[in-house]
Amino acid sequence: MDDALLSIENLTVTYDTLAGPVTAVDDLSLAIGPGRAVGLVGESGSGKSTVAGAVLDLLAPGAAIDGGRIRFEGTDLASHDRATRRALLGRRIGSVFQDPFTSLNPAIQVGDQIAEPMMVHLGVGASEARAMTLERLDEMGFARPAEIAGAYPHQLSGGMKQRALIAAALACEPKLIILDEPTTALDVTIEAQIIDLLERLRTEKGLSYLFISHNLGVVRRVCEEVYVLYAGRLMERADTDALFDRPSHPYTRGLLASLPRLQPPHRVKRLSTIPGELPDLLAPPPGCIFEARCPFSAEGCDRPQTIRVAGVRQMTRCHRHAEIAGEAWPSRARLGHDFSRKGFGDALVNVVGLKKRFRMGGLFAGIKLKPGLPPRIVNAPPVVKAVAGIDLVIRPGEVVGLVGESGSGKSTLGRLLLRLEDPTEGAVEYDGLAIERLPQRALRPFRKEAQIVFQNADSSLNPRKTVGETLRRPLALFGIVPARERAKRVGDLLEMVRLPRAYATRYPHQLSGGEKQRVAIARALATEPKFIVCDEPVSALDVSVQAAVVNLLADLRDELGLSYLFISHDLAVVAQLSDRIAVMYRGTFAETGTADQVLSPPFHPYTLVLLASAPRVDGSAMPDRSALLRDAAPGAGAPDGDGCPFFARCPSRIEGTCDELPPPRRTPAKGHAIACHLKLDALPTRFVPAAPAMGAAPGAVASAGPE
């Protein structure tokens, strides 16, 4: 441990909260050797970001280091005064934070923000710093570094911002970089790009990483060893392969088991889950902190415990790790009723040629002044095409998954189906009733049948209403049950979403995130709907909670025969639940088909990019995807005219065709549609190229070129 670049010894950090002191990090020890990539994994509330704050001397007000030492290159950081420590950290340790959108100073040119630490720490002059800045930006893969250096942050996309921030972190050539959820705020294709960049930089420069993340797939790809944190305590430490293949701690097993995998769904299978929730950190249990949620817990687990050796370079904090070594996390293979075997019948929702354009800005936004003498005023209303021509059928009992990156228009489409937005063009039929132009009053029967569940558990419930009041309102509004039976029905609804009846008297702030989302589902169910739009319903939830909510939605579909439009940016979650999948890009469907058809070849080039970008935990060979991820700024350089919206980012684009003409609809099989200029036999067919060592991987895609 002595040769470690950074070593954290018995670190304890407490927060002073109004309710009392909370131990956010409890007796954590961690070491990062030169050139190593170390992952720090945990769900929200695990204290993983607090560790970064403690190392970088950037703890939030009210937080204090209560014990332990942090040594960098052998020297205790606490032995320096504050200014020296900060200068040392800034020069020798780079840092990249979660939110690239707010981490660059909006008032300073990007290049100056990268050059600044060089001038302060290395004492170089302005012109030399500028040259070094351009060099850094070039290393980040920017095609025109000078243009980026002269830009202000708002002129860059999210991925470009994060690359610029990595350049700033590397400004003084540090040996260690602390990455705190560096890709969490980014789309999956951008994430893949950043991850590839980080991997390349590490090998080229011999960097060490402390990689903090909740995303196990990303950690598996980047890190060599992993620390798993739960409720502020280290649960397990192991080399990456060992951790993912032979997890010794039940919590690690639970996390891995509850992750949805990227594979076609099974109507009757469910995800494994970790029941319960994080313990109250104001009064943590004296023994194992995971005991209450652990399926392997037995007598004696409430004894105080320490971390102990569990294998080769593997340590675990579990009393029973030896006894349970071979046992898998209990899976929940619940046998549901399989509708799909019988087929789905006629369309419940039928969408034809749906379009939605938004006009941006206020009254004067559409008026532009054309320079010249005299200046001319031209009318150029800025219009965003959120949905640009969609055809879609959803049948009774069917789940249609809708995948897309941010800005693809997937939420707008969901809202159009419910007439929460008025369409600009096209028709939406529900159960034979054309709803796209009906006045709100005439929509009442439709409103009862079609409901919505949203993403954000915190904003989905009115904080001033109890759960009971929230659930009673739809019952009263539609006269679902007589007034005297409403209290009972509220209880029934709570049970339907696996919550205790007593929760009716609680306020939203007394619920956890997963519980809130269950109440939101119960509210949607209260009107006895047939169709529910689920708009990213699990995106804001931790892995262990997410699995339970996905299962609940699957159960309800089977019990009540519901249809869903299931919207998500996460292909794996969508694959878990959907009978059919639609892949959306900039307002149009790139590919539609059954889940099997979409997840297996032939692919639309964009589907392929998505699949290659998705982080995976199963340890299958990591594809070299660099050839796929070209120019991955969302929407960059998309043609304004009729061309394919994916043109600018497409690895197989045909210049002169794809940017001019709308892509034709290819149908490789019944029910499978791909909007692409590539002929059927030219469509890419594989997304996992042969072992990367073969070196031929990129060619697999490139050769799938035009004609």
Site for other proteins, residues 24 to 53, rule: CB under 8 A: 24
Q: Least distance from C-beta 30 to other proteins, angstroms?
A: 19
Q: Least distance from C-beta 693 to other proteins, angstroms?
A: 33
474 contact partners, CB below 8 Å, separation of at least 6: 480, 523, 526, 527
420 or 433: whose CB is closer to other proteins?
A: 420
111 or 593: whose CB is closer to other proteins?
A: 111
By CB under 8 A, name the one of 286, 330, 353, 382 that touches other proteins. Answer: 330
Binding flags for other proteins, 389-408, as an x/- string (CB under 8 A) = --------------------
In 312-364 the beta strands, taken as DSSP E runs, fall at: 314-316, 349-359
568 near 402, Cβ under 8 Å?
A: yes
Q: Least distance from C-beta 203 to other proteins, angstroms?
A: 24
Check binding of 498 to other proteins (CB under 8 A).
yes
Check binding of 125 to other proteins (CB under 8 A).
no
Check binding of 282 to other proteins (CB under 8 A).
yes
Check binding of 372 to other proteins (CB under 8 A).
no
CA distance 565 to 68: 51
Peptide bond into 381 cis (omega under 30): no
Binding flags for other proteins, 69-88, as an x/- string (CB under 8 A) = --------------x--xxx
487 or 633: whose CB is closer to other proteins?
A: 633
Check binding of 303 to other proteins (CB under 8 A).
no
Q: Least distance from C-beta 270 to other proteins, angstroms?
A: 9
CA distance 113 to 149: 9
Check binding of 388 to other proteins (CB under 8 A).
no
Q: In degrees rounded to 5, what are phi and psi of residue 657?
A: -110, -60
Q: Least distance from C-beta 363 to other proteins, angstroms?
A: 5
Residue 638's Cβ-count burial label (10 Å; 0-12, 13-18, 19+) is: middle
Binding flags for other proteins, 158-197, as an x/- string (CB under 8 A) = --x----x--xx-x--------------------------
Q: Least distance from C-beta 607 to other proteins, angstroms?
A: 25
Q: In what order do the strands lie in the sheet with 349-359?
A: 383-394, 349-359, 425-430, 433-434
CA distance 361 to 467: 37
Peptide bond into 260 cis (omega under 30): no
Check binding of 123 to other proteins (CB under 8 A).
no
By CB under 8 A, name the one of 17, 75, 79, 406 that touches other proteins. Answer: 17
Q: Which of residues 247-266 bind other proteins (CB under 8 A)?
A: none
By CB under 8 A, name the one of 216, 394, 399, 496 that touches other proteins. Answer: 496
420 or 690: whose CB is closer to other proteins?
A: 420
Check binding of 142 to other proteins (CB under 8 A).
yes
342 or 464: whose CB is closer to other proteins?
A: 464
Q: Least distance from C-beta 160 to other proteins, angstroms?
A: 6
CA distance 100 to 635: 18
CA distance 703 to 244: 34
Three-state SS at 206: coil
- Cα distances (Å, whole numbers) of residue 616 to 254, 260, 409, 688: 16, 10, 26, 12
Residue 431's Cβ-count burial label (10 Å; 0-12, 13-18, 19+) is: middle
Q: Which of residues 584-623 bind other proteins (CB under 8 A)?
A: none
By CB under 8 A, name the one of 123, 304, 326, 375 that touches other proteins. Answer: 375
Q: In degrees rounded to 5, what are phi and psi of residue 179?
A: -115, 110
Check binding of 89 to other proteins (CB under 8 A).
yes
CA distance 660 to 642: 6
By CB under 8 A, name the one of 191, 515, 579, 659 that touches other proteins. Answer: 515
297 or 597: whose CB is closer to other proteins?
A: 297
CA distance 255 to 141: 34
Q: Least distance from C-beta 138 to other proteins, angstroms?
A: 14
Check binding of 560 to other proteins (CB under 8 A).
no
User: Which range binds other proteins by CB under 8 A, 140-148, 259-267, 337-345, 671-679?
Assistant: 140-148
Check binding of 493 to other proteins (CB under 8 A).
no
Check binding of 693 to other proteins (CB under 8 A).
no
By CB under 8 A, name the one of 328, 363, 373, 693 that touches other proteins. Answer: 363
Check binding of 349 to other proteins (CB under 8 A).
no
Three-state SS at 358: strand
Check binding of 56 to other proteins (CB under 8 A).
yes
CA distance 12 to 182: 24
CA distance 340 to 370: 59
Measure CA 117 to chain center. 32
